[in-house]
Structure 1
Amino acid sequence: MIDPGYVILFLGLSISLLLSRKHVVSLISSFRSKTAAVDEEKARRNSYGSDEPLKPPTPLMITPEQVSNFDDRPWRPFRWPYHQTMSIFKLDMNHWLDMDKYYVHYIEEKKRIIQKYGKENIDWLPDSEDATFELMQTVVDHLIVRYPLLFTVLKDGDFYEGKGKIIKNEITKEILDMTLPLKEHPLMYVTKLAKEDFYIVKKNPVDDLHYLVAAAVPFPGGSFGVDHKIGKTLDVIHSDVPYYKEKLKKSMERWFDRMKPNDPVERASWYISWDHKLKVNNVYQLPKYVPNLVADLESTDPREFNVRVERQTLRRLPRSNAIIFTNHPIFYSIEEMKDEPLVPSLIKKIIYEGPKDIIKYKNFEVFRDHIASYLDGLIKRQIDKGIIKEDTPLKTLPSYPFAHWAKTDFDFVNGWNNPSPAYDKSANYSEKAKKELVHQND
């Protein structure tokens, strides 16, 4: 027979242990809550941007007639010492989709390239539908606010209420019917509105890697076609980029993971060629298409060489969570920059003494000896004119990545005005660029 005293003692101990267990569980639960809060706070601090929505762009009241004389911001992304980094800057949303006097030329070239080359320059995967639709809506909303005299709303309706819009492009005079259901793929409308190339990247929840799921890229310059990169990860897309794995991979992946919709950024890269073509520049032509490439460049006046700047932006769309990468190529002749302090010196230094893999990647060795004397002459000219001294330190300019005069010479009708006598504001290379399309893959 069990002693009742033992029963009472056992029950007392059990209750005590139960209460202690509840206390322990409570402590663990409290600890976990605090830990989760700390982790959430860390994640918030480590995320780029705040939770405030993006402000709409400021209207720029230029007319279709004024576009033909409007110059975009003057990029000068020359650095020394030259290091391979992301080199990103906070993007002013007024400049997400810029306007300039080459707008019509870019839109016409997009149409020609997409009609001729198709999926080599534009393509999308089935799981990109939400992102491409949101991109179309975002581009339309941006353009009609930023350039109200260039893009007219003929029929207004919310895309996400099943209505859509009808827009008139006052520059090209084309009417774009984007009422739902759409008559074309969203990327087709985007290419008719903006002169930028668009890459759409989404994170795969299965492997946590970022993939290129859609792209409208008529202007790769010769680096690659969309058909070789669609459906691939960032690592594959950037496999040819020098020092990507060693210097860019971690920072890029970290940025992609953390960036918020209200924290867009921009950057710029550059290379040199002796033409103004947008799909394939001469410097990246293949021997099978242009067997006499060297003879062609050697017969070209060094004053005809120009810098192609790849102006790029990164932003996240709030609904689809997709990351949008834009690229906008802009050409600047070396001649028009000859009065800007140290620019010829920086170009000469980089094409001869930059990182060897960068020199190879940008094909500097192909043409640098041909333009070296020309650059030396410009450097001497700057010394003779007192623009620089012989002992002026060669380093990245304080105005990087823009020309030194960019902040002081802007007007709302003509854009930025290069004060150099070497720059002709009325010059437009659009017709010349069309005549340069002589190769089979142009």
Structure 2
Amino acid sequence: MFDGFASSYEAKSASTSEAPSTSHSKRAACAFYEIQLQRLEQSVVSSLPMRQKAPLRLGFGRPLVLNEPLALFNQKGVNIMILLENVKKIYKAKSGDVTAVDNANLQIEKGEIFGVIGYSGAGKSSLIRLFNQLEKPTSGQITIANRVISAITGNELRKARQEIGMIFQHFNLLWSRTVRENIAFPLEIAGVDKAERRKRVDELIHLVGLEGRGDAYPSQLSGGQKQRVGIARALANNPQVLLCDEATSALDPETTDQILDLLLDINKRLGLTIVLITHEMHVIRKICNRVAVMEKGKIVETGPVLDVFRNPQQDITKRFVQQLTDSEDTNETIESLIEKYPDGKVIRLQFIGEAVERPVLQRLMQRSDIEVSILQGNIAQTNNGSYGSLVVHLNGEETAIQQAIEGIHQEQVELEVIANG
């Protein structure tokens, strides 16, 4: 767990001249180091997530310096890349204080694509600007890549920001610079030599699919190409986190999908943690692992995308899900279908994951003496798997219908009786 400790112990063992007969002393020394390791763990954990500044001395006066802060883990043992604790952002205005982010608590895991969705004015952009300290929180604590970024300033903050890339809705490119020069800009600021800059820029141009466009200017590029330049520039310093503030909102649907595919590919290749701000549920559905829903500055719901699609809790979340499932139209259609099929039962089946591919209705018809009619259905693909629903009419003897419903339950498919005939 502690590489520094292992190195310290190995160095001590190698430099200590002991006779072969002193195995008891060796065991005692090992036991001593185990005790010191436990004390080290306790002291470090109690001080997390602050950086350990002073060297620790473990036995024989040998110092052990923690050059980097230790990783944060949640209760499931997953490495936490971004941690928000009771974060609040209040803007001062003539008309009174405006709370843009209200007591936000959030954990974003290392290597995941995390979406934040909300309507205009929900506080999404204010939230993401707190991550890289473009805005300072009024209160609360923000830890990114194991640094309490909300507590640092100056050179330490500038260094921490190199670990956080960002892309924007309107690209924010330097119009007097070529594609190559735009991508190289962060490397120039970081003092990277010219040869290394050229090599890194070539790699990034290939990564984002802009071969042959290195000498073009932003005015000569399409919207999708401009955003690819923005992505390459954001990746120049090999960040651990990529922030995307409405990165696809200015693009047409086809280009949006291309940029989302690129982000998904980058996430898989580089293991990059991506935080994506949007007001479009399609974006969340396509590439995000988990999602947080914001309303009036508050995070009102979080969870895996598939769970949120299947069982949204808040009204605002239900409205976002409706963007893809057209639930309002569905409800109107169901009402008309109930009138059309007064006999039997109208049921809604909800499938998740592998259940989407099971021949549930085929099995139902094979073992039941009832009529089965599919009235309506849809399937949504998410980055976590598939989710689908069917509205079905069952007609026949009451006993046979009830047996059919019990059989469906055995298929581990959620079932809701919408109407009884």
Q: TM-score range by the shorter chain?
A: under 0.3
* TM-score, scaled to structure 2: 0.23
Higher relative contact order (CA 8 A, sep 6+): 1
* TM-score, scaled to structure 1: 0.22
